[in-house]
């Protein structure tokens, strides 16, 4: 009798405490994703952040903002007075970069996942490294590129086609194109077109071997012929880039998810859906078309911005009637219209200092940033305070850092990593052509 009573009591306690009942903490997040037409996917990889080394070309940052007919000058001119601030920005300009592991054929490479470009390329073994302006051959290590691709294209070379990307900074890359199976985050795109760069006038980050181009077809830069010096816009041949090929090959929906963070353990990229990160509700907006060389197409992941507001203990301001902005995973800072960038940097405590050239600001590394909200599709997206100051840019012994807010040029305003950190940014390259954003809650 005692044993029976004890059994009943044990059963009652187990039911009362509910200790064995699992709780799905992602249930609401999955519901929010479903409402936005998304799924939470297992096809995701961790991203890791690297710091660009001191002394590398400032154009490393600028070149990702320079596409055909989209020119941003080198804004980081050296201050003639040789001040500490000038040294930070002219000689020791160090920023962050996200890296993903990508398998091409049978080998793995570290590539920069770039939503601001569409061509995937890897440096080839034995490539020629050139000085950008003189064209003189220099040691390969001076190009700062990672592990090279050895051998030929696994699935064949394309005859009479070359990749030719030139940058206003004077940097450029060239190389033949071909095919290989490309795998990232458990998604393999068969026979994806990519380039093996055999000529590089380029300054890399000492880690990445190239770029994983995640942009749209309109931005691809393949040209007819084998001599890049003879390429003209009439020779341009657009092709299916990686994200589009995901959809056409039916290996995954042509959707990217970025969950960036200053914490390496919390940075993810996903393919075909969104990573398993707790979020609030999504806002959905259309990608905007652009017109270049008399052609109207989808070139960038460009969105309309309703307003930008910033508030400090003494300042409360808002900007409206704003231009469209490009969401670019490979640009560290945001690039706003000059008047907006100036006002936001003035709202730091203490206020930021505009640098020579006028497009970047220094702020005290321990400055208190204003609260920054960017309204897209009627929804305010809060910028993480920790992303408003790029602490890694301080030179040894310095207390000055780069502000996360800079000024862009017309047609080149950018929502970079400062915006993308601590949110989920979804790039839908399907026929819907949409961007979706949600605040992270994890």
Q: Which one of the listed residues 253, 328, 417, 428 is annotated catalytic?
A: 328
Are 293 and 425 a contacting pair, CB within 8 Å? no
Among 114, 119, 417, 428, the one annotated catalytic = 114
Residue 396 appears among annotated catalytic residues:
no
CA end-to-end distance (rounded Å), the chain: 50
Would you tell me how many other CB atoms lie within 10 Å of the CB of residue 168? 16
CA distance 88 to 376: 33
- Rounded CA-CA distance 436/442 in Å is 18
Quickly count: other Cβ atoms within 10 Å of residue 238's Cβ.
Answer: 15
Question: How many residues can be counted in the chain?
Answer: 442
What are the residues whose beta carbons fall under 8 Å from the beta carbon of 366, sequence distance 6 or more?
399
Q: Is residue 235 among the annotated active site residues? A: no
Q: Environment class of residue 378 by beta-carbon count within 10 Å: exposed (0-12), middle (13-18) or buried (19+)?
A: exposed
Specify the pairing of strand 400-403 against strand 389-390.
Answer: antiparallel
* Residue 45, C-beta contacts closer than 8 angstroms, at least 6 positions apart: 100, 101, 184, 185, 268, 269, 270
Written as six digits, the tokens of 285 are 């907006």
β-partners of residue 213 are: 114
User: Quick one: tokens of 408?
Assistant: 């862009």
Q: Hey, which residues are catalytic here?
A: 114, 328
């Amino acid at each position: 009798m005692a044993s029976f009573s004890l059994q009943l009591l044990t059963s009652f306690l187990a039911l009362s405490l509910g200790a064995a009942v699992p709780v799905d903490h992602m249930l609401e997040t999955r519901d929010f994703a479903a409402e936005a037409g998304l799924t939470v996917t297992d096809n995701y990889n961790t991203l890791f952040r690297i710091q660009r080394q001191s002394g590398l070309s400032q154009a490393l940052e600028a070149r990702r903002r320079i596409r055909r007919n989209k020119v941003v000058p080198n804004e980081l001119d050296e201050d003639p007075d040789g001040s500490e601030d000038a040294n930070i920005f002219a000689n020791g300009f160090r920023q962050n970069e996200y890296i993903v592991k990508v398998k091409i054929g049978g080998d793995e490479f570290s590539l920069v996942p770039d939503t601001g470009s569409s061509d995937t390329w890897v440096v080839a073994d034995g490539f020629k490294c050139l000085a950008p302006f003189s064209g003189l051959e220099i040691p390969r290590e001076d190009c700062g590129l990672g592990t090279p691709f050895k051998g030929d294209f696994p699935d064949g070379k394309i005859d009479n086609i070359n990749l030719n990307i030139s940058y206003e900074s004077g940097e450029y890359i060239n190389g033949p194109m071909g095919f290989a199976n490309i795998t990232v985050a458990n998604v393999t795109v068969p026979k994806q077109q990519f380039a093996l760069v055999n000529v590089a006038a380029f300054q890399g980050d000492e880690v990445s071997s190239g770029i994983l181009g995640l942009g749209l077809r309109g931005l691809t830069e393949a040209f007819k012929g084998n001599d890049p010096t003879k390429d003209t816009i009439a020779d341009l041949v657009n092709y299916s880039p990686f994200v589009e090929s995901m959809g056409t090959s039916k290996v995954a929906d042509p959707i990217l998810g970025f969950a960036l963070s200053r914490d390496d353990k919390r940075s993810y990229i996903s393919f075909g859906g969104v990573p398993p990160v707790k979020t609030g509700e999504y806002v959905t907006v259309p990608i905007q078309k652009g017109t270049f060389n008399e052609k109207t197409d989808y070139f960038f992941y460009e969105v309309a911005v309703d307003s930008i507001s910033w508030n400090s203990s003494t300042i409360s301001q808002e900007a409206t009637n704003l231009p469209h902005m490009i969401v670019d995973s490979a640009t560290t800072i945001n690039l706003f219209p000059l008047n907006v960038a100036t006002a936001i940097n003035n709202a730091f405590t203490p206020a930021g200092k505009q640098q020579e050239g006028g497009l970047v600001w220094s702020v005290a590394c321990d400055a208190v940033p204003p609260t920054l909200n960017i309204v897209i599709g009627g929804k305010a997206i809060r910028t993480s305070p920790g992303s408003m100051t790029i602490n890694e840019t301080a030179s040894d012994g310095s207390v000055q850092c780069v502000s996360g807010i800079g000024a862009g040029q017309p047609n080149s305003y950018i929502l970079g990593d400062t915006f993308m950190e601590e949110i989920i940014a979804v790039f839908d390259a399907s026929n819907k052509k949409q961007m979706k954003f949600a605040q992270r809650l994890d």
